[in-house]
């Protein structure tokens, strides 16, 4: 499905990602854990092809095709989508209009508990944290992708909302490949990743099938422990 | 002359046709000036052309006026007067346009709207002009106690020169909600609107949406003046789409009463890269993303509905 091969990325002349490797197979869910400013969001924007994120080495391959230099919209057309942590507000553009324009799949608003009120509001303008996440997830589902990135899905959500959104993802994207980007890890117990990676200072320092152990280590000792903990031997 | 879509006042070049709705008098302004002496206090001078609408009863059926230029070098000078009687509710669609792009027309229009106590008016103006036309328009709205107006002006094809001056006067407990939307391409637009909060509890909102496309210049001066304890808000938003376009947005608040509350917001700029990239990540090309943002910025058109039937605006243009 998706292969990141020795990927190095520069933003504003600063090296952020250093030789990242990751392989996400069909239907797998991976988690990328890391502290603030470790390069998680940089990886999201690079995978999506945002122009300010310059690839200085390595490549991204999606379904056998090198997409490293592909424009953003071409990647989306191939089946990659992202729910962003900080999507911009777009004055004047209603969410319903955006969905109408981008939709490759009809959205059952009742099933998704999306009030007509939210659909008739301007995209991300004065949305609450929960509404913003819901809007992102609906858009992603409407795109009917094969591979989805969720950037900090749990941030700013209470447990009830997190559970609600997680079950929405499980029911609507159950057969898709998923990359969960997270700082706090609360989402992991809902979406149970196959593999958890830890990124620190732009480098993946650990990749493990035992996400529970990985998260427990981080929770107890902090991210710095990942640099030298015993789970390193579990690295894939 | 064919009366399209049952418009109540149709003027094409200088030829005029009227059609009354129940409870509403609709006449060419010169005839109203002759027939009703009281109108003299509202017309600044003896009108040469234009419409007179006098709504005495509420109606669900909207009133439609159309003033068009369809021949070369026509010079129109309509003076319009709209009077909405006490407690009456009305809706008016006002269309002004040039039917072709190269008619070199001249349109100098002045309109006065009188809303009597507790009356309500929803007014939608749609204007479309040719590249070589010149247009000057003046609008005055007088709101009696407790009356309300929603006045929406939209011009997506501007003439070579467009000058607009709007003055709105609000008495006690009245409210005015004005939205002006302009898309300028190859043209120069000057807009000046002033909202006077002259009565306690009056509420005024003035929103201006401007898009500057190729070879265009827009100057929008929007003033909110509180002479009594009212609330007012001015909102000027501009979007620049071309390097050779410019927008000058000047919101101004004048507060002469310590119990009044006035606010404003203003922004002028291009569509941010962040927004474009976000929309591209939804599968849209950059051009599609720009079109979508622009369409959203311009707002949806309120369809003309007569007795349940939706009539496309273009059938009047």
Of the candidates B280, B292, B296, which has its C-beta nearest A73's C-beta? B280
Question: CB B258: neighbour CB atoms within 10 A?
Answer: 7
| Contacts for B135 with CB less than 8 Å, ≥ 6 apart | B96, B106, B107, B108, B109, B127, B129, B159, B161, B162, B163
CA A222 to chain centre: 22
pLDDT at residue B193 in the model: 96
pLDDT at residue A236 in the model: 45
Angle between helices A129-143 and A95-102 (to 10 degrees): 20
Residues in chain A: 236
pLDDT tens, residue by residue, B59-91: 988 999 999 999 999 999 999 999 999 999 999
A134 or B278, higher pLDDT? B278
pLDDT at residue A230 in the model: 57
Token match 């007569």: residue? Answer: B306
Report CB contact under 8 Å: B277, A72: yes
- Average of per-residue pLDDT across B119-125: 96
pLDDT at residue B157 in the model: 93
pLDDT at residue B11 in the model: 94
The residues with which B168 forms a beta bridge, in sequence order, are: B141, B195
Q: Note whether B95 and B317 are within 8 A (CB).
A: yes
Q: How many domains does chain B have?
A: 1
Q: List the structure tokens of A79.
A: 């089946």
| Contacts for B28 with CB less than 8 Å, ≥ 6 apart | B9, B16, B18, B49, B50, B51, B52
Report CB contact under 8 Å: A73, B283: yes
Q: Note whether B238 and B271 are within 8 A (CB).
A: no
DSSP string for B56-122: -S--SSPEEEEEEE-STT-EE-BEEEEEE-TT-EEEEEEEEEESSTT---EEEEEEEEEE-TT-EEE
Q: For A2-86+127-234, which CATH superfamily applies?
A: P-loop containing nucleotide triphosphate hydrolases (3.40.50.300)
Q: pTM for this one?
A: 0.83
Q: List the structure tokens of B284.
A: 């849209």
pLDDT at residue B2 in the model: 56
State the residue range of the domain holding B94.
4-316
- The region of weakest confidence among A201-215, B115-129, B157-171, B271-285 is A201-215
Contacts of A98 in chain B (CB under 8 A): 279, 282, 292
How does pLDDT run along chain A (236 residues), one tens digit per residue? 899 999 999 999 999 999 999 999 999 999 999 988 899 999 999 999 999 999 999 999 999 999 999 999 999 999 999 999 999 999 889 999 999 999 877 777 677 666 668 888 999 999 988 889 889 999 999 999 999 999 988 777 788 888 888 888 888 888 899 999 988 777 888 888 999 999 999 999 888 898 888 888 888 888 877 777 655 544 44
Classify the phi-psi angles of A65: left when phi > 0, otherwise alpha if psi is within -120 to 50, otherwise beta.
beta
pLDDT at residue B104 in the model: 93
Token match 């003035």: residue? Answer: B206
Mutation target vs A (from B283, B290, B293, B297; most A CBs, 10 A cutoff): B283
pLDDT tens, residue by residue, B12-70: 999 999 988 889 999 999 999 999 999 999 998 999 999 999 999 999 889 999 999 99
Q: Note whether A49 and A75 are within 8 A (CB).
A: yes
- Average of per-residue pLDDT across B224-242: 96
Domain positions in chain A are 2-86+127-234
Three-class secondary structure of residue B160 per DSSP: coil
- In angstroms, the separation between the Cα of residue B12 and the nearest Cα of chain A is 35
pLDDT tens, residue by residue, B194-221: 999 999 999 999 999 999 999 999 999 9
Token match 């989402």: residue? Answer: A187
Q: List the structure tokens of A65.
A: 């095709």
B306 or A78, higher pLDDT? A78
B→A contacts (Cβ < 8 Å), by residue, are: 209, 237, 272-275, 277-285, 288, 292-293, 295-299
């Amino acid at each position: 499905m998706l292969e990141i091969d020795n990927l190095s990325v520069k933003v504003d002349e600063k090296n952020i990602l250093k030789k990242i490797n990751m392989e996400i197979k069909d239907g797998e869910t991976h988690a990328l854990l890391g502290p603030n400013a470790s390069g998680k969001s940089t990886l999201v924007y690079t995978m999506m092809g945002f122009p300010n994120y310059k690839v200085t080495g390595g490549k991204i391959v999606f379904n056998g095709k090198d997409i490293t230099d592909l424009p953003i919209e071409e990647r989306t057309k191939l089946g990659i989508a992202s729910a962003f942590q900080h999507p911009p507000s777009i004055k004047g553009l209603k969410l319903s209009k955006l969905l109408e324009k981008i939709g490759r799949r009809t959205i059952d608003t009742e099933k998704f508990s999306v009030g007509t009120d939210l659909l008739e509001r301007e995209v991300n303008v004065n949305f609450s944290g929960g509404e913003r996440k819901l809007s992102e997830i609906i858009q992603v589902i409407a795109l009917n992708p094969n591979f989805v990135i969720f950037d900090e899905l749990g941030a700013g959500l209470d447990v009830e909302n997190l559970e609600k959104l997680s079950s929405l993802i499980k029911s609507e994207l159950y057969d898709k490949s998923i990359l969960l980007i997270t700082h706090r890890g609360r989402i992991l117990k809902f979406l149970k990743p196959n593999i958890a990676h830890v990124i620190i200072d732009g480098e993946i320092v650990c990749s493990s099938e035992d996400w529970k152990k990985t998260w427990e280590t981080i929770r107890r000792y902090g991210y710095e422990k990942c640099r030298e903990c015993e789970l390193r031997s579990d690295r894939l | 002359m064919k009366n399209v879509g049952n418009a109540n006042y149709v003027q094409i070049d200088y030829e005029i046709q009227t059609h009354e709705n129940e409870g509403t008098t609709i006449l060419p302004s010169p005839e109203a000036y002759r027939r009703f002496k009281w109108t003299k206090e509202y017309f600044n001078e003896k009108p040469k052309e234009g419409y007179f609408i006098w709504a005495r009863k509420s109606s669900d059926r909207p009133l439609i006026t159309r003033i068009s230029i369809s021949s070369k070098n026509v010079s129109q000078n309509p003076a319009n007067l709209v009077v909405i009687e006490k407690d009456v509710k009305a809706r008016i669609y006002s269309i002004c346009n040039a039917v072709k792009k190269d008619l070199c027309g001249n349109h100098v229009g002045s309109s006065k709207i009188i809303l009597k106590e507790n009356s309500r008016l929803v007014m939608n103006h749609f204007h479309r002009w040719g590249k070589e036309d010149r247009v000057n328009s003046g609008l005055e709205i007088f709101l009696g106690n407790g009356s309300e107006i929603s006045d929406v002006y939209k011009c997506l094809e501007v003439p070579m020169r467009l000058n607009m001056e709007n003055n709105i006067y609000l008495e006690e407990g009245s409210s005015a909600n004005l939205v002006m939307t302009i898309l300028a391409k190859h043209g120069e637009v000057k807009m000046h609107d002033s909202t006077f909060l002259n009565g306690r509890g009056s509420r005024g909102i003035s929103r201006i949406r401007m898009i500057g496309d190729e070879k265009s210049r827009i100057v929008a001066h929007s003033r909110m003046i509180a002479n009594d304890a009212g609330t007012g808000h001015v909102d000027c938003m501009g979007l620049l789409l071309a390097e050779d376009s410019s927008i000058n947005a000047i919101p101004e608040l004048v507060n002469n009463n310590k119990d009044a509350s006035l606010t404003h917001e203003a922004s002028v700029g291009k569509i941010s890269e962040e927004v474009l990239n976000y929309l591209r990540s939804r599968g849209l090309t950059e051009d599609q993303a720009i079109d979508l943002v622009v369409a959203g910025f311009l707002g949806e058109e309120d369809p003309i509905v007569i007795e349940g039937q939706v009539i496309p605006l273009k059938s009047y243009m």
